[in-house]
Amino acid sequence: MSDTALEPVRLVDYRVPAFLIDTVHLDIGLDRTQTRIVATLAIRRNPASGERGPLKLDGDSLLFVEAWLDGVPLQTRDYVALPQAFTLHHTPEGSFTLTIETRLDPSANTQLMGLYRSNSAYCTQCEAEGFRRITYFLDRPDVLSVYTTRIEASFQEAPALLANGNKIEEGVLNHGRHFAVWHDPFPKPSYLFAMVAGDLAVVRDSFVTASGRHVRLEIYVEHGKESRCTYAMDALKRSMSWDEQVFGREYDLDIFMIVAVSDFNMGAMENKGLNVFNDKYVLALPETATDQDYANIEAIIAHEYFHNWTGNRITCRDWFQLCLKEGLTVFRDQEFSADQRSRPVKRISDVKTLRSQQFSEDGGPLAHPVRPEIYNEINNFYTATVYEKGAEVVRMLKALIGDEAFGRGMDLYFERHDGEAVTIEDFIACFADVSGRDLSQFMLWYRQSGTPEIRAEGVWDESGRTYALTLSQILPPTPGQPHKQPMLFPIRLGLVGTKGDLRVRLDGEPFEGLVALTEPTQSFLFSEVGEKPVPSLLRSFSAPVKLAVDLDEEALLTLLRADSDPFNRWQAAQSYALKLLLRLVKDPTTPIDPRFVEAISGILERGGDDPAFAALSLALPSEADIAREIGSDVDPQAILGARAKLRHTLGSYLGSELLRTIETMSVDGPYSPQARDAGRRSLRNVALELACANGSKAALAVAQAQFENANNMTDEMAALNTLALSGTDAGEQALLGFRERYGSDPLVIDKWMSVQAMLPHETTLARVKELMRDSAFSLHNPNRVRALIGAFSANNQTQFNRPDGEGYSFIADIILSIDPKNPQLAARLLVAFKTWRSLEAGRRALAAAALRDIAARPGLSRDVADIVQRSLA
Ligand code: BES
Ligand code: ZN
């Protein structure tokens, strides 16, 4: 076992802070290796706390210099200053100021937490516990302070000096230095502090809020990248007006800034008035970014902007409440994207993400509730469960109480808790109050982990024209939760006949399409059911559950054709394909059902009506989807084989139809990232991939031509991927050509790395090792690591899970070599092992051995030790 002693933090141990910090004056003297921080804190005892002990501030790897109490230097006997804490033995009654000077080395900060350097600029990342790497503080989200930040730096090195709030002063100093002072009038927790300084280009725009406030908008990027910010700026303005229209929320400062940096552990960060972004989620040109990149930029710009109200104005009392801001803000950004694009298409892609990321987490050793009750390392709880399932819980709440009550509940939440640090209970109470509903059973969604299973059975009584639907819930045990209480589910449903939805009654009333399941088993008796219906259950995926309903092929075809709910039409195609694939995994000689091929042909034929939707319906369940369905003793190679066989068959039978779709879905004119064109491209490219699946020369020639002539990165990448998958010489040539064409563009080279890392070929591991020696690769940059190593471990089922275990030991070695430099990045790579227990025995043993090797390494970070220990438990 590792020697990293983990001291868990528990929700039940929460205590209000013993002290409050009303104001913070930070004086930052920037230097590449010797940055000087002087923090002056106005502190007083918290009247709500009974604690009388000394003042203990958090620190992390800090170098103490000196301290003053009310301006008078402290004597060494008055305090203890350690790298991880500062303790002041006796504090004055009433309020006092404590000034502490520390030094830090931004250039040596490879963790990318606290103050560090990226592309020769200085920047900060404080969430969750990074502020304590800058200065001693009560580094917890329920201590809200008003910040004033003075930054001083060499003018030449850092002409731009940025921090939260509004700039209130600036000036020139001796020795080529200058300074700026920023003041943020909104009290905030330390995790929302930010400072950036460097030689950056700026793109400016403006926005006038509904009430007439003029807001300056600024995006800071590397010089030369200005033209790549257009879409991000546009997305920002659309986000600002959407939040006014849909949630009645206006922006509250005179300036909103975004800075793009190249070295960033996460996607982006919502610091008050000064969002810091991974440049991958800001920069885009048609020639460098795919439709998916554009969609991600739009969603992440919106997400961080929306945090201004859900996260910043109202923040979390403690880190257990993380879903209070993250789940809710993901819900908001999903709604925004749905409104900007196609709602059903957005819903389908969100559910795909939920199932692949969250269901797999919930079914494995890392399962935890949406609101965890214990953690060893909070960084490891920025998970699909907190984010994606957290968003689903908000969506269910809206479904249960209705749109109108949900809107009033949100209004009440903003009104009641503005300026506070609150809990999930506070949030839910707003909706209980406006709706008059008892939401105590609903709270179980925050406490119980695991994916519930809903079983459904229906009986049609022809003579009585009734349909009896019985729904039951099964709550599988998860780590630490062997027994569970029945939960509350909103189930949207309809009864579908040959010509579409049947108009039926429930309890004598016209049925509106929603029932609430509260008991372990419940029956619903529908009347006026004149024909044998197919139940269309869980429409628009109204709850994050696994649905077990035994629909045969005929029933699935009925839904595929006649269901009014687009999500369930898509689901019907997926369920059909999945049935087929599961049979093929068991027996590769299973003949392929011609009705399925016909159905796919039908989707192609009607593709023009809604190309993005058709593209999603044509895409077969992924290897991971199939593995999850199988559940145990998974053989990834057999899954790949089944999928290849089905694709091959479809390619062969539908060759000419696919080529016709490719033709008709071509997009003329200049590139636009709008949903309409993006949908056409996605259908075209799904068709291209299928058409090439049987090695068709004609189709491969189309791919080759598309690779050479594409006027945008979406089509170029799709062609490159298809050519590379073909395993032909043309594929290798295309890869070489691409590398030459884009050698100087890291974000594009990342895509090139990912494509190769995901090839399901035996040679891929060797190729990945080779690519690590490419001059474009670096183990220090999170984007590079995720593009190559992360793509291999998380998205290459057969090669990560090689039967000889080489994939596991390779990833284990990399994790161990990254861990001392960047524990967060190392811990995130380790999550690739989250489904190891469901593998067949041989691979399972090899994966376990790799995990044990990691666990045995002395000096592991808390981040990695936590994940590896829970994975093995
Ligand atoms: N607050 C987070 C960023 C963050 C995460 C900081 C973990 C520190 C630790 C931010 O709002 C966020 O959620 N970003 C997401 C993208 C978002 C669209 C879901 C991210 O970075 O992945
Ligand atoms: Zn967030």
CA 127 to centroid of ligand 1, rounded, Å: 9
As a 3-state breakdown, the chain gives helix, strand, coil percent values, each rounded to 5, of 45, 20, 30
Neighbours of 94 (CB within 10 A): 7
Where does 606-635 have alpha helices with state H?
A: 611-618, 623-630
Is the C-beta atom of 301 inside 6 A of ligand 1? no
Is the C-beta atom of 267 inside 6 A of ligand 1? yes
> Mutual orientation of helices 343-353 and 611-618 as an angle, nearest 10°?
30
Ramachandran quadrant class, 311 (left: phi over 0; alpha: psi -120 to 50; beta: rest):
left
pLDDT tens for 531-547 read 999 999 999 999 999 99
Tokens for 67, please give them. 């301290």
User: What is the distance between the alpha carbons of residues 679 and 714, in angstroms, rounded to a whole number?
Assistant: 11
Q: In Å, what is the CA distance from 586 to each residue of 15, 204, 360, 370, 629?
A: 55, 59, 22, 35, 13
The arithmetic mean of pLDDT across residues 114-143, rounded, is: 98
CA 237 to centroid of ligand 2, rounded, Å: 19
pLDDT tens for 255-306 read 999 999 999 999 999 999 999 999 999 999 999 999 999 999 999 999 999 9
User: What is the distance between the alpha carbons of residues 515 and 197, in angstroms, rounded to a whole number?
Assistant: 55
Residues 197 and 162 sit within 8 Å (Cβ to Cβ):
yes
Q: Is residue 1's pLDDT more than 60?
A: no
CA 832 to centroid of ligand 1, rounded, Å: 19
pLDDT of residue 114: 99
Is the C-beta atom of 863 inside 6 A of ligand 1? no
| Torsion angle of C-alpha atoms 558, 561, 563, 567, degrees rounded to 10 | 110
Tokens for 195, please give them. 């400072």
Average pLDDT over the chain reads: 98
Residue ID of nearest Cα to ligand 1 atom 19: 330
Residue ID of nearest Cα to ligand 1 atom 20: 267
User: pTM of whole model > 0.85?
Assistant: yes
Tokens for 54, please give them. 């000394």
Counting other chains too, the contacts that 357-362 makes at CB distance below 8 Å and 24 or more residues apart are 357/384, 357/388, 358/384, 358/385, 358/388, 358/389, 358/451, 358/544, 359/451, 359/546, 359/628, 360/624, 360/628, 360/834, 360/835, 361/385, 361/834, 362/389, 362/449, 362/450, 362/451, 362/478
Residues 766 and 760 sit within 8 Å (Cβ to Cβ):
no
pLDDT tens for 601-660 read 999 999 999 999 999 999 999 999 999 999 999 999 999 999 999 999 999 999 999 999
User: What is the distance between the alpha carbons of residues 415 and 321, in angstroms, rounded to a whole number?
Assistant: 19
Residue ID of nearest Cα to ligand 1 atom 8: 127
Q: Is residue 2's pLDDT more than 80?
A: no
Tokens for 224, please give them. 């030369």
Looking at all shown ligands, the one closest to residue 275's CA atom is 1
Is the C-beta atom of 665 inside 6 A of ligand 1? no
User: What is the distance between the alpha carbons of residues 565 and 219, in angstroms, rounded to a whole number?
Assistant: 40
pLDDT tens for 747-787 read 999 999 999 999 999 999 999 999 999 999 999 999 999 99
CA 95 to centroid of ligand 1, rounded, Å: 35
| Torsion angle of C-alpha atoms 158, 162, 163, 165, degrees rounded to 10 | 160
pLDDT of residue 3: 52
User: What is the distance between the alpha carbons of residues 213 and 686, in angstroms, rounded to a whole number?
Assistant: 46
pLDDT tens for 655-674 read 999 999 999 999 999 999 99
pLDDT tens for 749-759 read 999 999 999 99
pLDDT of residue 565: 98
Q: Which one of 152, 218, 222, 304 is the catalytic residue? A: 304
pLDDT band with cut points at 50, 70 and 90 for residue 80 = very high
Is the C-beta atom of 280 inside 6 A of ligand 1? no
Tokens for 519, please give them. 């008991």
H or E segment and range at residue 316:
strand 315-316
pLDDT band with cut points at 50, 70 and 90 for residue 5 = confident
Is the C-beta atom of 266 inside 6 A of ligand 1? yes
The arithmetic mean of pLDDT across residues 412-416, rounded, is: 99
Q: In Å, what is the CA distance from 203 to each residue of 233, 259, 833?
A: 9, 10, 42
Closest by CA to 38, choosing from 174, 151, 120, is 151
Q: Enumerate residues 6+ apart whose C-beta is below 8 A from 392.
A: 354, 543, 544
pLDDT tens for 580-591 read 999 999 999 999
Ligand 1 atom at minimal distance to the Cα of residue 296: 18
What are the residues facing 269 on neighbouring strands?
A: 276
If one residue of 258, 263, 266, 279 were mutated to test the ligand 1 pocket, choosing by the most ligand atoms within 8 A of its CB, it would be 266
Is the C-beta atom of 268 inside 6 A of ligand 1? yes
Ligand 1 atom at minimal distance to the Cα of residue 379: 9
Is the C-beta atom of 828 inside 6 A of ligand 1? no
Q: Enumerate residues 6+ apart whose C-beta is below 8 A from 69.
A: 78, 88, 92, 96, 97, 98, 99
Ligand 1 atom at minimal distance to the Cα of residue 824: 9
User: What is the distance between the alpha carbons of residues 101 and 79, in angstroms, rounded to a whole number?
Assistant: 14
CA 231 to centroid of ligand 1, rounded, Å: 20
Respond yes or no on whether the N-terminal peptide bond of residue 128 is cis (omega within 30° of 0).
Answer: yes
Dihedral over Cα of 180, 185, 188, 192: its sign: negative
Residues 130 and 124 sit within 8 Å (Cβ to Cβ):
yes
Length of the chain: 873
Ligand 1 atom at minimal distance to the Cα of residue 330: 19
Is the C-beta atom of 332 inside 6 A of ligand 1? no
Q: Is residue 711's pLDDT more than 60?
A: yes
Residue ID of nearest Cα to ligand 1 atom 18: 300
Is the C-beta atom of 29 inside 6 A of ligand 1? no
The arithmetic mean of pLDDT across residues 389-397, rounded, is: 99
CA 304 to centroid of ligand 1, rounded, Å: 8
Is the C-beta atom of 302 inside 6 A of ligand 1? no
- 304 catalytic, yes or no? yes
Residue ID of nearest Cα to ligand 1 atom 16: 267
Q: Is residue 866's pLDDT more than 70?
A: yes
Residues 546 and 359 sit within 8 Å (Cβ to Cβ):
yes
CA 393 to centroid of ligand 2, rounded, Å: 16
CA 669 to centroid of ligand 1, rounded, Å: 36
User: What is the distance between the alpha carbons of residues 21 and 746, in angstroms, rounded to a whole number?
Assistant: 42
Is the C-beta atom of 692 inside 6 A of ligand 1? no
Residue ID of nearest Cα to ligand 1 atom 4: 269
Closest by CA to 786, choosing from 50, 409, 282, 280, is 280
If one residue of 124, 125, 269, 825 were mutated to test the ligand 1 pocket, choosing by the most ligand atoms within 8 A of its CB, it would be 269
Ligand 1 atom at minimal distance to the Cα of residue 278: 21
Q: Is residue 325's pLDDT more than 50?
A: yes
What amino acid is encoded at 224 in this protein? G
Residues 188 and 272 sit within 8 Å (Cβ to Cβ):
yes
Q: Where are the beta strands (DSSP E) in 321-452?
A: 374-375, 421-422
Is the C-beta atom of 469 inside 6 A of ligand 1? no
CA 332 to centroid of ligand 1, rounded, Å: 14
Neighbours of 168 (CB within 10 A): 11
Neighbours of 429 (CB within 10 A): 18
What amino acid is encoded at 424 in this protein? I
Query: Max CA-CA distance within the chain?
Result: 95
